[in-house]
Structure 1
């Protein structure tokens, strides 16, 4: 197992809450757990640190960071800007098959409201497809990097059935604007969607 594989395994453990904010990331313990030498562990931790998913604390070493209120606000502010831009670009550049995929996801999600875990997975796929439809690789890279910060936050904004239903209809509004080629409406709908998710997240703290 190389450093890149260790990095992705650690991301998975953070996402699954096996590793939680505040947990120490000891090289020796991780090397034993993964059955590898410290070298790939060190490489994986350096990459994790570069992505903001590990920080070095005095007298504790490397730990999974905790996002404070201000950092959460910053993450959602940037999501609103970047994903709003992606939606606007998608209205201009998305192909017919890309629009149909987004429409199919919305249709399927309307039947998944009661199944939180399934909807959470589908929600990630929707946002991934939406960003890809922008046809701007640099924007996609920035959004992917930003989304990594979300795994440091406990739970999901889709915890309640009410928010799940509202979120799906917000997705529908985004896709409708994209299908009409209305860049301004698509951006506005995406920004509103992220703003509502931000409000929900703050209520969960």
Structure 2
């Protein structure tokens, strides 16, 4: 029950029902989800620990909005941790595990290789792909550590900011990871995962530069209009 409520609240945030800076009262969530406030309160404590929400005056819960530059730091941490988790999974990479990864890869291809890419589907399938790998290593403590870092940017700029070419490149990198597991090559798995995460970091760096450029343009436009008004 608690896990289900937690997942539903995260999904509401990830889907944009609540965005950075929004207040999310526990009573409102309880009504929306048709549950008591107790499981909502437990889920909110977990989300606060993950950095998804923060508590302000009078214990008001507010969604944290991460900018692209903060996401870059998170991907730097992921690029250090996730290759280790992937390497742990190599010895346990049986056929069922490989089949699951291939299926997720194929479904991601289907989501992005259309005229209007389904970015939401790609995001969700991508998260599943990575979680399957973390869990396969069999080390619950390390899995929790990676999960805590990787899941934080739920309200950050998402795949909606990626070009279709970037999405395609990302999934080709997933294919490299799958091939490395099939070869039972630990070094290749670790290298492929690290390259994939560093590539994702570069995408967010591009997004961050774009946001800064837009902000400067907005400031310039405002100044020009002010000048004209005088």
Q: Structure 1 length normalisation: TM-score?
A: 0.83
1-structure distance, mates of 2:136, 2:125: 16
Correspondence for 1:120 among 123, 132, 135? 123
Post-superposition CA distance 1:35-59 (Å, at most 9, x none): 5555544333223212222112347
Q: Is the 8 A contact 1:25 1:62 kept in 2?
A: yes
- What is the aligned partner in structure 2 of residue 89 from structure 1? 88
Equivalent residue runs for 1:15-164 within 5 Å? 15-34=14-33, 38-58=37-57, 61-68=60-67, 71-112=70-111, 113-114=113-114, 115-117=117-119, 118-156=121-159, 159-164=162-167
Shifted more, 115-124 versus 86-95: the winner is: 115-124
Cα distance, 1:17 vs structure 2: 1.0
Residues 67 and 109 (structure 1 numbering): CA distance in 2 closer, same or farther, change over 3 Å?
Answer: closer
Determine the C-alpha separation between the residues in 1 that align with 2:153 and 2:192. Answer: 21
Question: Residues 128 and 43 of structure 1: is their aligned pair in 2 closer, same or farther, counting only changes over 3 Å?
Answer: closer
More helix, by proportion: 2
Q: Distance in 2 between matches of 1:136 and 1:21?
A: 33
Normalising by structure 2, we get a TM-score of 0.75
Stretches of 4+ aligned residues off by more than 6 angstroms: none
Provide closer, same or farther for how the CA distance between residues 75 and 157 of structure 1 changes in structure 2, counting only shifts above 3 A. farther
- Structure with higher Rg: it is 2
| Matched pairs, number | 204
Change in 2 beyond 3 A, CA 1:23/1:79 = same
CA deviation vs aligned residue, 1:78-131 (integer Å, no higher than 9, x gap): 211222112222223311221233234334444442242433333222222222
Structure 2 gaps of 5+ residues are: 209-230
Residues 40 and 178 of structure 1: is their aligned pair in 2 closer, same or farther, counting only changes over 3 Å? closer
Structure 2 counterpart SS, 1:94: coil
Report the equivalent of 1:203: 206
- Distance between the aligned counterparts of 2:99 and 2:39, measured in 1? 42
Whether contact under 8 Å (2:162, 2:203) holds in the other structure is: no
Q: Tell me: CA distance 1:37–1:178, structure 2 relative to 1, closer, same or farther (3 Å).
A: closer
- Seen in structure 2, the aligned counterparts of structure 1 residues 44 and 88 have a Cα distance that, compared at 3 Å, is closer
SS at match of 2:97: helix
Gaps of 5+ in 1: none
Does residue 182 in structure 1 map to residue 185 in structure 2? yes
